[in-house]
Copies of this chain bind each other. A is one copy, B any other.
Amino acid sequence: MKDEMQEFSERMAQRADQVDMALAKLLDARLRGDEIARPDTLLAAMRHGVLNGGKRLRPFLLLETAELLGGDQEAALRVAAATECLHCYSLIHDDLPAMDDDSLRRGLPTVHVAFDEATAILAGDALLTMAFEIIAAPQTELAAGLKSELVLALAQASGLGGMAGGQALDLQAEKYPPDEAGIITLQSMKTGALIRFACEAGAILSGSNPTDRECMKRFGEAVGLAFQLADDLLDVTSDSQSMGKATGKDTGRGKGTLVALHGADWARTQLSGLVSEASSLLSPYGERARILLDAAQFVANRKH
């Protein structure tokens, strides 16, 4: 088991390097298509918010589901980079003074601290926009029908009815603590939807049949739930040094989490259940899907 997890860690690091290289290239100064100029400061703020040594979990899930289902790896890498641009935009905006007001992210100053608030807002806006540009660009060699499906799924996962809506619910939760159903909705939107998208996108870009696509979507849902539960557990059991960001904030602000409602032991049992669910969903794919199961375990057991 230890060897398997070590192998997994190495693979995740390799994938992260691939994704970092793709992101660095997308965020260079060359103009694309009808762009008029790439202003230096804004570009630097975008790079600060993206090229910061993140684990690249969502790209990893996307690349591995695409590999499992026979998708083109070059195209998958671009869609993975797009997904990470979108994820990083959400972190930049969530960290703003008007939102969670965080000054530290992955051990570095947040974008509005390193630059200024206006630049951070615009860097987020431009990264969100770039995510869609990357998918639609001719360099992403996919059938146009698949690109449209990816744009639609990404927009629904990340907008009003997904991630942005989840952040809005999260802000309200400080004043009006939600009940259990409300917490689940909030978390499915805020963090679950984009993780689910990453897995489903691997299937979409591979041109998979509806069964495989639905299966990867449900796998992504399980991983998303596990991610949030593990995060809530860490928030009560970890310290800010190993997280590279402030911890204990959710409890301090009176935000309800499932861990706060049901306790840490319940959460650990739920996490095992989610890993089992992931395992059942992946069983039709046999040994080839082992890396995705490892990913689910990694998410459920992560210590930072």
A→B interface (CB under 8 Å):
31-39, 41-43, 46, 89, 93, 96, 98-99, 116-119, 121-122, 124-126, 128-130, 132-133, 135-138, 143-145, 147-149, 151-162, 164-169, 171-172, 185, 188-189, 193
Contacts and interface: CB of A to CB of B under 8 A. Distances in A.
Nearest to A196: B34
Given A93-B125, A151-B135, A162 B35 contact: yes
Contacts of A118: 96, 98-99, 168, 171
Contact of A160 (B130, B145, B156, B165): B130
A126 B125 CA distance: 10
Nearest to A118: B98
B148 A37 contact: no
Contacts of A160: 35, 38-39, 42-43, 46, 126, 129-130
Contacts of A154: 132
Interface of A, helix, strand, loop or mixed by DSSP: helix
Given A41-B172, A98-B116, A168-B122, A35 B161 contact: yes
B119 A121 contact: no
A116 B185 CA distance: 23
Contacts of A34: 153, 156-157, 161-162, 193
B167 A122 contact: yes
B36 A185 contact: yes
B35 A156 contact: yes
A226 B136 CA distance: 30
Contacts of A144: 143-145, 147-148
A24 to B, nearest CB: 15
B33 A165 contact: no
A156 B137 CA distance: 10
A117 B117 CA distance: 12
Nearest to A172: B41
Contacts of A156: 32-35, 133
Listed residue (A36, A96, A166) with the most chain B CB atoms within 10 angstroms of its CB: A36
A138 B151 CA distance: 11
Nearest to A154: B132
Listed residue (A35, A153, A193) with the most chain B CB atoms within 10 angstroms of its CB: A35
A195 B145 CA distance: 27
Contacts of A193: 34, 36
21 contacts: A35-B156, A35-B162, A36-B166, A36-B193, A37-B189, A38-B161, A39-B160, A39-B165, A46-B160, A93-B122, A93-B125, A98-B117, A99-B121, A125-B164, A130-B155, A132-B151, A133-B151, A136-B149, A136-B152, A144-B148, A147-B151
Contact of A148 (B119, B136, B169, B185): B136
A201 to B, nearest CB: 12
Contacts of A152: 33, 133, 136-138
